[in-house]
Amino acid sequence: MHELGIVFHIIRSVESVAEQNGLRSVSSVTLELGEVSGIIPSYLTDCWNWACSKNDLMRGAELAIEEIPAVTFCEVCGETYGTVEHGRTCPHCGSERTYLLQGNETTIKEIATPDEGPDGGGGADDVRADARACARANRAPAPSESADAAPVC
């Protein structure tokens, strides 16, 4: 419902990190998104592709999304269960005294840049292979050619 606004805020945050680190371009941004965060990854990706195409720093940047499953804890019986399947009511004992343990995350985890590091090396210490692999595995679908109008939530 609100993905375009969220994309604008992510880009603003990335711009500020880029400024602090003297980056000229960004190759990917990794988000941790909870299963019940209320953000729909496919909408977010559409908005992302549209907004990045209009921004010099972000042009061509991939959006990698790591989804975090939603898990709820029951205070009465002490069991955990999948939030999406069972909602607020504990499937083990029927209690409604439950709270979300995880699954509401909306975190910008990291940014990858092809730019060289401040030491001029772009050194191996800074490079995390697992993050790169992840960005590739979650590669966003190609933006549709005709999508020049802003997606509306």
Say how far apart CA 152 and CA 3 lie, in whole Å: 9
The contact mask relative to another protein for 134-153 (x = CB under 8 A, - = no) is ----------------x-xx
Say how far apart CA 151 and CA 119 lie, in whole Å: 40
- The SS3 of residue 93 is coil
Residue 117 contacts another protein per CB under 8 A: yes
Which residue from 54, 94, 114, 147 is in contact with another protein, where contact means CB under 8 A?
114
Residue 86 contacts another protein per CB under 8 A: no
Which residue from 60, 69, 91, 122 is in contact with another protein, where contact means CB under 8 A?
122
CA angle 18, 64, 110 (to 5 degrees): 35
Residue 98 contacts another protein per CB under 8 A: no
How many alpha carbons lie under 13 Å from residue 4 in its C-beta half-sphere?
A: 7
Which residue from 19, 21, 92, 101 is in contact with another protein, where contact means CB under 8 A?
21
Nearest Cα neighbor of 26 from 66, 67, 65, 55 is 55
Instruction: Tell me which residues touch another protein (CB under 8 A).
Output: 1-2, 4-6, 9-10, 12-14, 16-17, 21, 23, 27-28, 31, 38-39, 106-117, 122, 126-128, 131-132, 150, 152-153
